[in-house]
Structure 1
Amino acid sequence: MWVVPSIGGTRLLGVLFFGSCMVLAPALTAHGADQESGGWSLPGAILIPLDLAVLLYAAGMARLWRQAGVGRGVALWQPGSFAAGWALLVAALLSPLHELGDRLFTAHMIEHEVLMIAAAPALVLSRPLGAMLWSFPRAIRRHIAGTVRWPIVRVTWRGLTEPASATVLHGFAIWSWHMPVLFRAALAREPVHWLQHVSFLASALLFWWALLSSRTRRKSYGASVFYLFFTSMHCGLLGAILALSKNEIFVTRNSAAAQWGLSALEDQQLGGLIMWVGASAFYLAAALILAAFWIGSGSSAVKKIGSGAVPSEINAVPIYGMQERRRNHSALVSSEVTRPGMRDQK
């Protein structure tokens, strides 16, 4: 059932903002708690981008729905996907899981899998860039839309989001950070640790964007299925190496393994098992789902699964303003990008 766009957008903005406060409430109440007990962490470098992201998305979506109509530009289910991805980021980066990951390899592995196989695809499916763009004034939207159409930006983005290159980049991030020297550096230095998180999340976002993009036509769906199978297998291989090793490859500082009834080696093996079975199974399941889309690629579900490249996503929603299709100011407005030379609606 359709609602008045202005009321619906305002309500949704309030719901998302209230939801973000509720998610962070445990962190705020736990601030100052003993970190050894496993409390929430509140680094400003993470809190500010997370809060900014949800505010930009909600504000942009409210404005877009108010002008274009509820469900246009951003589908009704996509805000839920964004909220789920955002909440998973909070759980991985701010909850006690993050602090425990410094002292327990198994928790460290769970944290990274949440980022790569749960938060990343949920955020990609929400198509956040177009909605966030609409949170800015019309002049800034026009400038951003022009910038992303620069040839160097388009070529770079297309290169990063080609399925093959995105798969290689994602695999490189996974394997390189599990080299003992880099793993120890991440635990010893907090900036390196956050760089590890950023590289995992960024490469996963590119990977899922490439595979869930509407730019992927029927002839390349088979290739995307292959890349998911390939990722499942190389993650399984890395997990098997860790799970079957008889030697301690990774030793966390101030290890909490004993508190969980594990030796350091058993902690490593359990973490490897999570990657070997859990992560590999998720990639495999995604491959099977994509294969089903491939088989039925003539259906509308496949045509609408993703957003394509950044310029395509931006072009999918109004940028500069709305034009009325009828002179009598009917509720039906255009959802296409207005040409710069055309008059914008205030």
Structure 2
Amino acid sequence: MAMGIWFDANGWPVPPVVLLICLVGETLYLRGWSVIVNREQVRDAGSRAGEPWPAWLWRGAFFTAAIFTFLLAASAPIDTLSASLFWVHMVQHLLLLVVMAPLLVAGAPLLPLWWGLPRALRAWLQVLARWPLGRAVARLGYWLRQPAISCGLLLAGIWIWHWPTLYDLALTNDLIHDWCEHLIFIAVSVLFWTQIIPSPPLRSRASYLGKMGCIGVAIAQNVVLAILIGFAPHPIYAPYAHMVQWPGGLSALQDQQFGAGIMWTFGDVPFGVAFSVLLQRWLILHTDDIGTNVALGEH
């Protein structure tokens, strides 16, 4: 039984494809990260705008933490138990949506991954970017990164995949579950967090109030969805409701309520932390502005 929990059907603690993706990503990131740090170290950070090189030490740590979170979410114990326990499945989703995604954005992966690529591949991608298809992709990316669009896509991605029909389909089809549902969760959450967390070369297109508004909407939808799931009078996801026996002595309804509670509490923590930081910075900014105006008025 232990082997069935700690290893998948092929004897791997994490699927080989996931391990390969993480290994390639971490290798490219560290290769490009070292280039950036070396360049920043030889420049006089005080003579130009931009981040001092020690900031990239934190970004490297954030990216590595995001990779480990992804490995944890895809690990055999969580993946195996999520098939029989709704609350474990909810933990898996939250690891992707509100832990891995903000850590990945904080790691600012675009620049390190770019400089980590071979020079010939970078040159080819630069040529491709000038083609009509490349320009169309750039325009699409610019459109998707509008604050309202980013926020709306996060809500749509979460709610659509918690609709019982699609949720049940993902539970009964590993391909849809791993490469459709989870990839959409990662994509929409990363897009959302790029509006909140600085991630060079991307810049947030929302003001402090706009960022706090996006977070407020994200918290509200999370609470509403958790209430709908937690206070449902019966199990709403067929694969869990039809189980003959539930691990841990939980009934299907209790399992569902427990998962909704995790969603309501743990799922709001990263949003709450981000909101608090943004509120503090907004208050400091406006306090400084008020002090400056008072000082000018005295003269």
Asked if these proteins are the same fold (TM beyond 0.5), I'd say yes
CA contact (8 A) 2:31 2:116 kept: yes
In structure 1, the partner of 2:32 is 60
Matches within 5 A, 1:82-97: 82-97=63-78
Match of residue 240 from structure 1: 227
- Counterpart of 2:45 in structure 1 is none
Distance 1:264 1:144 in 2: 50
2:63/2:104 contact within 8 Å kept: yes
Match of 1:134 among 115, 123, 138: 115
1:215 aligns to what? 203
Structure 1 position 199, deviation (Å): 0.8
Cα displacement (A) at 1:41: 3.7
What corresponds to 1:197 in structure 2? 182
CA contact (8 A) 1:257 1:267 kept: no
Whether contact under 8 Å (2:84, 2:246) holds in the other structure is no
CA 1:57/1:241 → structure 2, altered by over 3 Å: closer, same or farther? same
- Pairing partner for 1:267 from 247, 255, 263: 255
| Aligned-partner Cα distance in 2 for 1:285–1:231 | 13
Shift of 1:275: 1.1
AA aligned opposite 1:208: W
1:99 counterpart = 2:84: no
- Counterpart among 171, 183, 192 of residue 155 in structure 2: 171
Query: CA 1:142–1:292 in structure 2 vs 1: closer, same or farther (change >3 Å)?
Result: farther
Partners of 2:244 and 2:6 in 1: how far apart?
A: 11
Q: Name the CA distance, whole Å, in 1 between partners of 2:285 and 2:23.
A: 37
Distance 1:81 1:173 in 2: 24
Does the CA contact (< 8 Å) of 2:144 and 2:150 recur in 1? yes
**Structure 1 residue aligned with 2:166:** 182
Q: Measure, in 2, the Cα distance between the counterparts of 1:298 and 1:82.
A: 32
Q: Could you tell me which residue of structure 1 aligns to residue 271 of structure 2? A: 283
Change (3 A) 1:49 1:261: same
The alpha-carbon distance between structure 1 residues 42 and 289, as it changes in their structure 2 partners (threshold 3 A), is same
1:89–1:115 Cα contact (<8 Å) kept: yes
Distance 1:215 1:146, change over 3 A: farther
Amino acid at match of 1:129: L
Q: Report the Cα distance in structure 2 between the residues aligned to 1:42 and 1:177, rounded to whole angstroms.
A: 23
Report if aligned partners of 1:233, 1:280 keep a CA contact under 8 Å in 2.
no
Q: Give deviations 1:110-135, integer Å, cap 9, x for gaps.
A: 01001110110001011111101112
User: How far does residue 76 in structure 1 lie from its aligned partner after superposition?
Assistant: 1.8
How far the C-alpha of 1:293 sits from its partner, in A, is 2.4
Q: Does 1:293 align with 2:262?
A: no
Pairing partner for 2:89 from 86, 100, 108: 108
**What SS is found at the alignment partner of 2:57?**
coil
- What is the aligned-residue identity percentage? 28
Report the equivalent of 1:162. 146
Tell me the number of residue pairs that the alignment of Structure 1 and Structure 2 aligns: 266
Distance 1:59 1:174, change over 3 A: same
Q: Closer, same or farther in 2 for the Cα pair 1:168/1:255, shift >3 Å? A: same
The one-letter code of the counterpart of 1:221 is Y
The structure 1 segments of at least 4 consecutive aligned residues displaced by more than 4 Å after TM superposition are 145-150, 253-257
Q: Distance in 2 between matches of 1:137 and 1:62?
A: 14
The answer to whether the Cα contact below 8 Å between 1:61 and 1:74 also exists between their aligned partners in 2 is no
Cα distance in 2 between the residues matched to 1:255 and 1:74: 50
Question: What are the Cα deviations for residues 187-210 of structure 1, in whole angstroms up to 9, with x where unaligned?
Answer: 111111111111111111111012
RMSD: 2.7
Query: Given that residues 96 and 185 in structure 2 are in contact (C-alpha distance below 8 angstroms), is that contact kept between their aligned partners in structure 1?
Result: yes
Name the CA distance, whole Å, in 1 between partners of 2:233 and 2:219: 23
Task: Write the deviation string for residues 217-240 of structure 1: whole angstroms up to 9, x where unpaired.
Answer: 6x7220110110111001110001
Q: Structure 2 unaligned runs (5+)?
A: 43-51, 288-299
TM-score (norm 1): 0.70
Relative distance call for 1:289 and 1:65 in structure 2 (3 A) is closer
For residue 243 of structure 1, report the CA deviation from its aligned partner: 1.0
1:211 aligned counterpart, secondary structure: coil
Match of residue 191 from structure 2:
206
What displacement does 1:248 show? 0.9
